[in-house]
Every structure is written in structure tokens, then in C-alpha cells.
Amino acid sequence: MAKLQARGYVLHTRAYRETSVIVEFFTPQFGRISAVAKGARGSGKSDRKSLLQPLQLLSFELAGRSQLKNLGIAEAIRNPWPLRGNCLYSAFYMNELLMRALPETEPVSLLFEQYQSSLEHLASLSENDSLVNIEPVLRSFELMLLQELGYLPDLAHDAQTGEHIDANQHYTFIAEQGFLPCPSTQAYAIQGTDLIAIEAREFTPSARKTAKHICRQALLPIIGDKPLKSRELFLSHTGQ
């Protein structure tokens, strides 16, 4: 039986048969990959159950030739990230995005690095930290996700002429096409200065709002219009 060695984060678990669970992992070498953890809900496997929690970084062994692998030995590489409040909901949002957007078994090493740095950044904030500090983390993650999937629009060039974005111009965003010049009076007109800031990952108040609009529109063809549970939790917690 073929065996694979991997490291990655637990994204999600769900019950499977009588005593097992299906674990969704996020790894740099295989992207999103599923495995059956046999007996993980049994009384004799409480140690394994405690390991298979979201935001836990593990080294583990996978066996089997089918797409759904069997989970072998699993060990914690580090303690789970100590996230609470807004920061925890933000991490759950990233997990749900990965579950909805990533195809199985496609390597995404740059996105994995961005995910880890995002968790580290969130862990450095307080549980009720302002969205001013949290939103740049989420927007940077979304932009990297779009880049890895090939859906990131060209933030630096006019999609119609190929010219560099003009700071004094306004643009409309069309998913899977890019940014086209438009009158400043048009609904959702985007300032060129915001696009330049987002390209440089400089999230001014205006750029944060614009980046949120762009990411939401660009992600729609990937994740669909079914509401994200984590987003609803986050909004109910922040009251926004």
C-alpha cells in the first residue's frame, strides 16, 4: 500500500460511519487532501481526537491508492494557534474559503505560506482587535488565494488598453476580465489610487473597502453564492 508523508493543518472534520471521521487537511505539497481517521470517535482514541482539531499543525502519514486516503500516524508539530474572538472567526473564514475554493490534491505552497503567516499575524492581535488590523490579513490571504487559482485580476493595468492604472482615473471591475475605465459617477466606481495601493498591499481605509469589494466579486465564480457560515458568525459577533 502506497504511503505518503505530509505536514499540514486540519481544516475540517466530519463524522464517518460508526467511529471514524473524515479529516480535511491543508498541506503545501498536496494542497487540500482528505483522509479517514479510523476510530477517531471511539473511546480508545481520545488522543487522536484531540489532535484532529482546526488550526492544528501536524505531521502525518497517509496510505491508500484511492483519492480518500487512510490516516496513519499523526503527531503535533506545534500547539494550536491561540486565537479567540474576531481573530478566531477570521481563521475559520480562511478555512471555509479553502474548503470551498481549493480543488483536491493540487500543490499550493505559496498559499500555504500565506495561510501560516496570516495565522501568526492574527495570533499577535487581541481577541477583540479592530477590523482595521484584521482586514488587511484577510484581504492579503484572499488575494493570494485568487493568485494561486489563476483568478487574480491584473491590478496594475487597464484591461482595455493595457496601460498602467491611472491614479486619477476611475474603473469598474468585471470578474474574469479586469478593470475598465468608467465615469466617477458609476455605481461601484473604483479609484485608481486604490488599485495602486492594493497592488502594493498598502491597505488604506479606502483601499480596504475596495479590496473587499474586488475579492468578493472575484471569488464568487469559485465559491458560488451560498452564504459562508463563518462570515455569518463573524458579522454576528462584530455587529456589522
- Summarize pLDDT for 41-68 with one digit per residue, the tens: 765 545 677 789 888 899 999 998 777 8
Q: Are 60 and 73 in contact (CB under 8 A)?
A: yes
* Domains, the chain, ordered by start: 3-76 (2.40.50.140), 85-238 (1.20.1440.120)
**Which pLDDT score is estimated for 238?**
56
Give the three cell numbers for residue 89: 472567526
Q: What is the rounded CA–CA span in Å between residue 180 and residue 182?
A: 6
Give the three cell numbers for residue 107: 500543490
Burial class (CB in 10 A: 0-12, 13-18, 19+), 5: exposed
Question: Which residues of the chain fall short of a pLDDT of 70?
Answer: 1-2, 42-47, 233-240
**Which pLDDT score is estimated for 225?**
85
Give the three cell numbers for residue 120: 501568526
Q: What is the rounded CA–CA span in Å between residue 37 and residue 62?
A: 10
The model's pTM: 0.91
Q: How confident is the prediction for the chain on average, in pLDDT?
A: 90
